[in-house]
């Protein structure tokens, strides 16, 4: 059975994962408006991944005998000055999520919840990947600067990303 404190910490993180989904959905709309369809594809997959992150925790809380209650999802930003500015926000957001997953792990540690620690190991590893992939794209955008042809090449590259449903836990 999950403790009240652990359950509350998971509920707060589920909300943040749903906000991540919402933020990337908003970025997907921004890139669609710019006709950058490879970026749209990248964001579509990001949206699906964030949904899976939220649902993984949602199902885990239920499996541990907890009770899910949902809260308001914060309104995301809807516009960016450039793809570079959007990806600065992606990297900053993923760094924030990493800090929040670590804080969730700390609660599992404090409450000696070994099952939650094992479960959260997947998320700790996932954040390494999340920060790395967003960081790579940001670095490319910084190199690209105002070179439209290079931006379109990157867009083409991002169109090949595919969604592999994560096996969480
Ligand atoms: Fe982007 O990793 Fe979940 O939030």
Domain for residue 61, yes or no?
A: yes
Domain for residue 32, yes or no?
A: yes
Question: How many domains, the chain?
Answer: 1
CA-to-CA separations, 2 to 107, 110, 121, 153, in angstroms, rounded: 12, 13, 17, 48
Domain for residue 92, yes or no?
A: yes
For residue 149, report the distance from its CA to the centre of ligand 1, in Å.
Answer: 30
Domain for residue 152, yes or no?
A: yes
Backbone angles phi, psi at 123, to 5 degrees: -70, -35
Contact indicator for 158, 41 with CB cutoff of 8 Å: yes
Domain for residue 163, yes or no?
A: no
Domain for residue 166, yes or no?
A: no
Mean pLDDT of 88-101: 98
| Structural domain span for residue 29 | 4-71+79-158
CATH number at residue 101: 1.20.1260.10
pTM of the model: 0.97
Any ligand 1 atom below 6 A from CB of 17: yes
Counting from 1 in the atom list of ligand 1, the atom nearest the Cα of 130 is 1
Helices (H) and strands (E) in the chain, counts: 5, 0
H-helix or E-strand spanning residue 167: none
pLDDT at 169 over 90: no
Domain for residue 28, yes or no?
A: yes
Counting from 1 in the atom list of ligand 1, the atom nearest the Cα of 126 is 2
Mean pLDDT of 79-100: 98
Counting from 1 in the atom list of ligand 1, the atom nearest the Cα of 93 is 1
Tokens of 119: 């479960």
Residue 51 Rama label (left phi>0; alpha psi -120 to 50; beta): alpha
Tokens of 33: 């408006």
Domain for residue 106, yes or no?
A: yes
Any ligand 1 atom below 6 A from CB of 94: yes
For residue 98, report the distance from its CA to the centre of ligand 1, in Å.
Answer: 8
Write out pLDDT tens, residues 114-165: 999 999 999 999 999 999 999 999 999 999 999 999 999 999 999 999 999 9
Mean pLDDT of 66-83: 98
């Amino acid at each position: 059975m999950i403790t009240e404190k652990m359950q509350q910490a998971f509920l707060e993180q589920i909300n943040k994962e749903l906000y991540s989904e919402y933020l990337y959905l908003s970025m997907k709309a921004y890139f669609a408006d710019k006709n950058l369809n490879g970026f749209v594809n990248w964001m579509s997959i990001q949206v699906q991944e964030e949904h899976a992150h939220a649902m993984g925790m949602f199902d885990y809380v239920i499996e541990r005998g907890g009770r899910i209650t949902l809260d308001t999802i914060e309104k995301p930003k809807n516009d960016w000055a450039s793809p570079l500015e959007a990806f600065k926000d992606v990297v900053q957001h993923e760094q924030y999520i990493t800090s929040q997953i670590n804080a969730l792990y700390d609660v599992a540690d404090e409450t000696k919840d070994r099952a939650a620690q094992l479960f959260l190991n997947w998320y700790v590893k996932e954040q390494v990947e999340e920060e790395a992939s967003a960081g790579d794209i940001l670095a490319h955008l910084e190199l690209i600067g105002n070179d439209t042809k290079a931006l379109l090449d990157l867009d083409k590259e991002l169109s090949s990303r595919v969604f592999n449903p994560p096996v969480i836990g």
